[in-house]
Amino acid sequence: MKIVVAPDSFKDCLSAQAVCEAVAAGVRDVMPASEVVSVPLADGGEGTADVLMQAMGGERIVKLVNGPMPGTRVEAGYIWCEQDKMAIVEMAQASGLQCVKPKDRNPMKMTSMGTGQLILAAVKKGAQRILLTVGGSATVDLGIGMASALGWQFLDHRGEALEPVGKHLLRIQKIVPPEAPWRVPVEVLCDVTNPVLGFHGAAHVFAPQKGASLSDVVLLEVGLTQVVSVIKDQFGIDIQGLPGGGAAGGLAAGACVFMNAKLSRGIDMVLEQTHFNDVIQDADWVITGEGCLDQQSLSGKVISGVAQACQNIPTKVAVIAGQVQLSEEVYRHHGIEYAVGCTPNNLSKAKGIEQAPRLIQQAARQWAMELKAPSS
């Protein structure tokens, strides 16, 4: 039996490679004769750059840039692919939740400027193409922080430049582009399809996950609406309903304005570069997973990408997740044969992180034992 282990990372817990190792160990405990092939995956969120570097080659270039909190500095890297003169910039490295202590998280105060500084560093190195992965951000600033690093200015009603943080979105009255137009092709790898505005948009869906209060969400929605309107009035670009534009607190949509970027599904790029379709052709099962199997898993995430890749071949799909929040009826409807949660608790808790490899291995062992058990 051939089993392909192809999970995403478990956010704030384990890398995709570490999850692969735990799942493979659990399967081999019960089915030592099986062929187990590991293919770590990502969808545009944290860890995407590492997965793509493993698949495509390249080296990590580390820079000291602004962190999400103004006044802070972080070491962040981008992946440099010399042969293609391409840079892979992972937003989470410079402007991610991982850079901010939980008690300090608040997208009203955060900026994506460090991401812009990484992009600028890659351009100065000679990048002729940039892949920008945007999952795991700490910001809801529509990318104005990133754009500020690239020479854009955001002015209030008095013509004074504003600090590019979430709370200042609603004060922006005019946007001043840099003198030199942007010329480097940018492809933004998204892990969601949410628009910028509305109840499914950047503020309402993602800001609470980044530390925003209910009143913050309202102010951020007003601010995003204001800047979307200014962009439309000044540049004739309507980003309001752009699918995926709400990714990374609207930075995905901002990138389309400030860098003429195009948006793509991150999981599609990763599956292509890892030659995933070739790997699974003769597989009996694919075991995928992420921190939580929920409704978002079914749209643009690793799990949905894996299920779609397997839908027209005999290969069956199993999910091992930190938690399973979907009914069996729902996940089976989306091509998932089996799902198991490792723990009712959040694996991102300190104790959970320590126990995560064992719990994931145990869940994989459970799946293998049920597979081997004779049908009644």
Tens digits of residue pLDDT in 242-255: 999 999 999 999 99
Name residues of the chain where pLDDT drops below 50: 346, 348-351, 376
Token pair 């892990």 is found at: 191
- Residues 167 and 109 sit within 8 Å (Cβ to Cβ): yes
**179 — alpha (psi -120 to 50), left (phi > 0) or beta?**
alpha
The per-residue pLDDT for range 157-177, each reduced to its tens digit, is 999 999 999 999 999 999 999
Token pair 């044969």 is found at: 337
Q: At what angle do helices 251-258 and 214-235 cross, to 10 degrees?
A: 20
CA distance 165 to 142: 9
* pLDDT the model gives residue 345: 52
* pLDDT the model gives residue 46: 85
DSSP classification of residue 73? E
* pLDDT the model gives residue 354: 73
Q: What phi, psi does 158 have (nearest 5°)?
A: -95, 0
CA distance 82 to 77: 15
First to last CA, the chain: 22
Angle at 54 between CA 13 and CA 305, to 5 degrees: 65
Domains along the chain with CATH numbers: 2-41+274-372 (3.40.50.10350), 48-266 (3.90.1510.10)
- Residues 194 and 249 sit within 8 Å (Cβ to Cβ): no
- Residues 284 and 208 sit within 8 Å (Cβ to Cβ): no
Coil/strand/helix, residue 191: coil
Q: Quick one: which of 100, 252, 254, 98 has its CA closest to 164? A: 254
